[in-house]
Amino acid sequence: MSVDISELKEVKPESMLLCPLSTTAAPEQKLLCIFGTGDLGRSLGQRLLQSGYRVVYGSRRPHSCGPLPRGTKALNHEAAALSAALVFVCVHRENYDFMEALAPQLKGKVLVDVSNNLKKNLYPESNAEYLQRLIPGAHVVKAFNTLSAWSLQNGPSDANRQVYLCGNSVQAKQAVEEITTKLGFAALDKGTLSAAGELEDFPLQLFPEWRLPLRVAVGLTAFFFFYLLIREVIYGYVDQGKDISYRIMVSLANRVFPIVSLIMLSLCYVPGVIAAFLQLYRRTKYRRFPDWLDRWMLCRKQMGLIALGFAFLHVFYTLIIPIRYNVRFKIAAMTISKIKENRTSEFDTTMAWRADSYYSMGILGFGLYVLLGISSLPSVSNALSWREFSFIQSKLGYLTVFFCTFHTYLYGWDRFLHSYSYKWFTPPGFLLSLVVPSVLIVLKLLLLLPCVDRNLTRIRQGWERTDPEDGSDKALLT
């Protein structure tokens, strides 16, 4: 049975009084029904009106359901169901029972289930499958459940343009897809109604793409915090009898933040280098990467944004260092001591060069850091061509890694050569933070060698070696 809403006639009982606006509406405007007058139902109705549809609401209390979008009318469920060929079900699963009595009026019509649950596995079957079982004569389509009332009110944005849908009727899904497109969203068909459970789990996920980056960030932060706590605070108390626990809040934190930031920034580019060497080893680009590498590459944006957050914390903590009590106290004590001893310090040109270079590399690295973060925003990245986006995220990204790594090298200078830096035979934190970015820079330089870059470019253009033993080559068009 075809359920294209453009071919179904609207049934208008004599007892139904439509608002004056609907009697003067253009003939091509379709009448849609919405069960439910809550925030989502009202927002959806307003969006449908703005897209050229006529809307009627079905409510248990049609005369006392509160203000509705202008140009709509509330009717009882039976009258509203008879009026349109497509019904949006914007009520909770617990209230589905009333629709079982409307099975004759809803037979052959499209029911768009937009409901969600409070937690996963709350019911043995999905809400959409349950609705289909209640009204077997209708065509249930799961859609719009991943959109909020705010998204519907303000229109689609780059971050929430996708609408997932699924259903057993191809014609019903086409009707819903037509409405979705007219509302300004992009429909993505996920298959039959058996996929409804997956769609209902989407809104319940808490930052799914951020889980791995957050775990990495928390793990690195915890490790380096306790590592530096042992080296800086506990070592000073045990070995020298000094209580320097006051350094935990600012000094210790300001050493952890740049370490985690530099490592996580490097981890954004490590999977790309690994992928390049895999392609060189396999001599083809048509073999899939391992699953762990795929997951790593898909979360690089989130990892980079977290790294940028740690970089901001490092900058802010650095700015407050001069106003800290212990710093001002030490400066005052040193000044008084020099005045009493009537001595002056000689100007060290080498130290001046080192300090200026250290701050300069830090400022340049942070500036490029911010540029990477801004260009990753959807509103900015959509305005860039692929070549522009690739130039910023790849070439300027590696330049950011280089500046930040050089900034750390200048901070450490020659301290790694002195035994006092290895407290309890442990390397300083800055030295550990240089391992990943230094390896990354070396590997990237190897990939930039003309002989390596030429082979990698050929592979990415479609060339592959079909039989390594006889040396035969094959060029494929992509």
According to DSSP, the β-strands at 186-189 and 162-167 are parallel
Q: Where are the domains of the chain?
A: 20-204, 209-447
pLDDT (tens digit per residue) in 67-93: 899 999 999 999 999 999 999 999 999
Among residues 278, 314, 280, the alpha carbon closest in space to that of 296 is found at 278
Among residues 146, 271, 275, 279, the alpha carbon closest in space to that of 212 is found at 271
pLDDT attached to residue 22: 40
CATH number for the segment(s) 20-204? 3.40.50.720
Residue 86's DSSP bridge partners are 110
> Per the confidence metrics, is the pTM higher than 0.75?
no
Among residues 25, 26, 109, 143, the alpha carbon closest in space to that of 73 is found at 25
pLDDT attached to residue 157: 58
Among residues 58, 69, 15, the alpha carbon closest in space to that of 35 is found at 58
DSSP 159: T
pLDDT attached to residue 344: 66
pLDDT (tens digit per residue) in 265-315: 999 999 999 999 999 999 998 888 999 999 999 999 999 999 999 999 999
DSSP 231: I
Helix (H) / strand (E) element for 168: namely none
Q: Which residues contact 168 (CB under 8 A, 6 or more apart)?
A: 132, 139, 140, 192, 193
For residues 396 and 435, the answer to whether their CB atoms sit within 8 Å is no
pLDDT attached to residue 338: 66
d(CA 440, CA 267): 9
Q: Which long-range contacts (CB under 8 A, 24 or more apart) does 151-156 make?
A: 152/40, 152/43, 152/44, 152/46, 152/47, 153/43, 153/46, 153/47, 155/47, 155/184, 156/183, 156/184, 156/185, 156/186
For residues 317 and 254, the answer to whether their CB atoms sit within 8 Å is yes
What tokens does 337 get? 């001591």
Cα distances (angstroms) measured from residue 294 to each of 58, 89, 300 = 47, 38, 10
Residue 181's DSSP bridge partners are none
Query: Three-state SS for 123?
Result: coil
pLDDT attached to residue 466: 63
d(CA 201, CA 204): 5
d(CA 86, CA 182): 15
Query: Which segments in the chain show pLDDT lower than 50?
Result: 1-27, 159, 468, 470-472, 474-478
pLDDT attached to residue 343: 67
Q: Which residues contact 54 (CB under 8 A, 6 or more apart)?
A: 22, 25, 29, 30, 31, 32, 71
Using alpha carbons only, what angle is made at residue 225 by residues 224 and 226, rounded to the nearest 5 degrees? 95
For residues 165 and 143, the answer to whether their CB atoms sit within 8 Å is yes
Q: DSSP for 270-327, please give it.
A: HHHHHHHHHHHHHT-S-SPPPHHHHHHHHTHHHHHHHHHHHHHHHHHHHHTGGGSHHH
pLDDT attached to residue 156: 62
